[in-house]
Chains A and B, each alone.
Chain A
Amino acid sequence: KQEVTQIPAALSVPEGENLVLNCSFTDSAIYNLQWFRQDPGKGLTSLLLIQSSQREQTSGRLNASLDKSSGRSTLYIAASQPGDSATYLCAVEGYSSASKIIFGSGTRLSIRP
């Protein structure tokens, strides 16, 4: 059974720092991996999606990498800003059912001005 883990559960850094959020998964047979952003009390916004054949995706100050063999993904945020404060969740989709996505519990990120 696929399990997705995100450590740490919470992270606080000063504005301007580059930072890395981690995601690990137990079953490397994944179809894709997504990183989502969730603001308090809101829905999820998809940030980056990495297909199983890809190693990384970039969007602006965000870069996500995928290493299927080790069951790891990282989300790199460059030059962090207070507006980046949110919870970041990763989610993997397996081949067994394209409709089921397994989510991690998220990392709550706080950027201090």
Chain B
Amino acid sequence: DGGITQSPKYLFRKEGQNVTLSCEQNLNHDAMYWYRQDPGQGLRLIYYSQIVNDFQKGDIAEGYSVSREKKESFPLTVTSAQKNPTAFYLCASSPEGGPRQYFGPGTRLTVT
């Protein structure tokens, strides 16, 4: 089955700890994206990558970091510098030049 997987589904961390969220796709898509969703709000773009070994900041990149060493993988690290990290995190991918994004099931991160 082709698709996007995110793990884990739920993640709990103590304040001050870095945490890495996984995103893997086997759709052979070039572009990958990370979004954050807060209750009652739309999605906000954190980082995106259009090709391996390259990525750009989105609208709310502060306190986050990413890497794109492989086409299939785009992990997101939430650092201790992120002031309000508790949220629902969604990963997406799209084919080169394609407007339609395909979303993973999301990871709910809770930091206490």
Q: Could you tell me which A residues sit within 8 Å of B by CB distance?
A: 4, 9, 31-32, 34, 36, 41-46, 49, 51, 89, 91, 93, 98-106
Contact = CB atoms under 8 A, between A and B. Distances in A.
B87 interface: no
Contact of B41 (A49, A93, A98, A105): A105
Contacts of A101: 45, 101
Interface of B: 4, 6, 31, 33, 40-45, 48, 50, 56, 58-59, 88, 90, 92, 97, 99-106, 108
A32 B22 CA distance: 29
Given A44-B92, A46-B101, A98-B97, 8 more contacts: A34-B100, A44-B43, A44-B103, A99-B48, A99-B50, A100-B45, A100-B48, A100-B58
A40 to B, nearest CB: 10
13 contacts: A4-B42, A31-B99, A42-B106, A43-B105, A44-B43, A46-B100, A91-B42, A93-B99, A100-B45, A100-B48, A101-B101, A103-B43, A105-B40
A71 to B, nearest CB: 16
B42 A46 contact: no
B94 to A, nearest CB: 8
Given A4-B42, A103-B42, A103-B43, A41 B103 contact: no
B50 A43 contact: no
B108 A41 contact: yes
Nearest to A89: B42
A104 B42 contact: yes
A103 to B, nearest CB: 3
Nearest to B99: A32
Contacts of B45: 100-101
B61 to A, nearest CB: 12
Contacts of B50: 99
A23 to B, nearest CB: 11
B42 A106 contact: yes
Contacts of B90: 43-44
B106 A41 contact: yes
> Which of B6, B88, B97 neighbours the largest number of chain A CB atoms within 10 Å of its CB?
B88
